[in-house]
Amino acid sequence: MILIKNARIICASSEHHMKQMDILIRDGIIENIASSIENDNAQVIEQENLHVSIGWFDSSVSFGEPGFEERQTMKNGLQVAATSGFTHIMLNPNNQPNPQDASGINYLKSISSGSPVTVLPVGNFSLSQEGAHLAELYDMHQAGAVSFYDYKHSVENANLLKVGLQYVKPFKGIIQSFPQDAQIAGKGMINEDQAGTELGLKTIPTFAEELRVARDIELARYTGSHLHIPTVTTNAALLLIDKARESGVQITCSVAIHHFTTASDALLDYNTNFKVQPPLRDVEETKKVLDHVKNGLVDMITSDHIPLTIESKDVEFDQADYGSTGLESAFGMANEALGTEQSIELLTGGYAVFQKELPKLEKGSPANLTFFDPSESYVLSKQQLSSTSKNSLFIGRNLKGKVLGTYNNQKLQWNERNS
């Protein structure tokens, strides 16, 4: 048994929202929620300014295992996710071999069992992510794949995406399409703006994203199937998605936290940690995306966590790999930019989009919880990162709010630094 004392509940769907309550958990079930609970046999969780919400959901997480264990093992990655407040993560097909049949999905589920973090595997959309032939979508769905995605690869074959959307519609499968036209993007690495000009690197115009999103909207409209656009970065693309939804198109989207908190001028010292995909946009575009996040145009926010080795980043800019870690900074950056209640809403939006039952913070429900203190401010340092790879673009940034722990799958993670 676990007794959580004097915790402020942040859960808009709960009758206890914004109230200070005690919570008693027995065998993974919330047995009682009351203003005061006493139980001599329970493990007591008590912390100054303790807040609790339903467990957070990250829709875009990459580890290394299998194939790239030097980036991040499953064990380290799940520990990082748990200590960062996430009880559910969607694991991208960004390893080797990528899951493209039922056995690949089953393997990922088997090596991630026994954790307070529930892993929801994402399978390849096309075989080997080459965009020529569909992977075994139905078999992966039956095995537990939550979505299908050629991770960070544009689906250039519009007919293949159309056929895929038609194929998954009967079993309500969800396909993700990376929002970038590969031919327009070409060999560009950063956004086409003043910073790009000063850096002298090959650039990508924003309309590479808008053009692809516009095409994909029409394919979703034609098929009537659910299409998810991950990590959208431009004002125009978000407006297109919003207009499409209003007209009845079944389309959802996410925005990576760095795309509404960090602009392309951060690249001016050639720090490769800021080399991400899609690229960081200019200050004006970044502010517009932040406004859209605040105004409800976005279904969820994501860390878009991509661990990379020193050898992948400590090279010349045009040779460096794309990506930044983000799990450990996700809440602190989101809370600083959006405030606590909206951050929690957007960090839990993935349940509805990806058809997972929304956890309940009420008596009799399975306990799926995140514990945090939203008020503590600090500067993120490399030493604070427990991820194997330290390629975070948020090192040196001011964060607000610290995660205290998680509870899920009848397992408690209580962060040692707060004991």
pLDDT tens for 180-239 read 999 999 999 999 999 999 999 999 999 999 999 999 999 999 999 999 999 999 999 999
21 bridge partner residues: 7
Distance CA 111, CA 114 (A): 9
pLDDT in tens, 138-192: 999 999 999 999 999 999 999 999 999 999 999 999 999 999 999 999 999 999 9
User: 200-219 in b/e burial notation, b at 16+ Cβ within 10 A?
Assistant: ebebbbbebbbbbbbebbeb
Distance CA 181, CA 176 (A): 14
Domain spans in the chain, listed from the N-terminal domain onward: 2-51+363-418, 54-353
Tokens of 67: 């194939």
Distance CA 351, CA 61 (A): 15
- β-strand pairing of 51-54 with 369-379: antiparallel
Tokens of 77: 């990655």
Torsion over CA: 195, 200, 205, 208 (sign): negative
CATH number corresponding to 2-51+363-418: 2.30.40.10
Tokens of 54: 């339903």
pLDDT for 416 beyond 90:
no
pLDDT for 417 beyond 90:
no
Class of domain 54-353: alpha beta
pLDDT at position 418, please? 42
- Catalytic positions: 304
Under 8 Å between Cβ of 395 and 273:
yes
Distance CA 370, CA 368 (A): 7
Whole-Å CA distances, 83 to 138, 198, 403: 33, 39, 7
pLDDT for 315 beyond 70:
yes
Kindly state the DSSP code that residue 127 receives in the 8-state scheme.
G
pLDDT at position 40, please? 86
Average per-residue pLDDT for the chain: 96
Under 8 Å between Cβ of 190 and 199:
yes
Whole-Å CA distances, 57 to 41, 86, 311, 343, 410: 31, 6, 30, 12, 17
pLDDT in tens, 326-379: 999 999 999 999 999 999 999 999 999 999 999 999 999 999 999 999 999 999
Distance CA 299, CA 312 (A): 32
Position 419 confidence tier, pLDDT thresholds 50, 70, 90 = very low
- β-strand pairing of 20-26 with 2-9: antiparallel
Tokens of 255: 């925005």
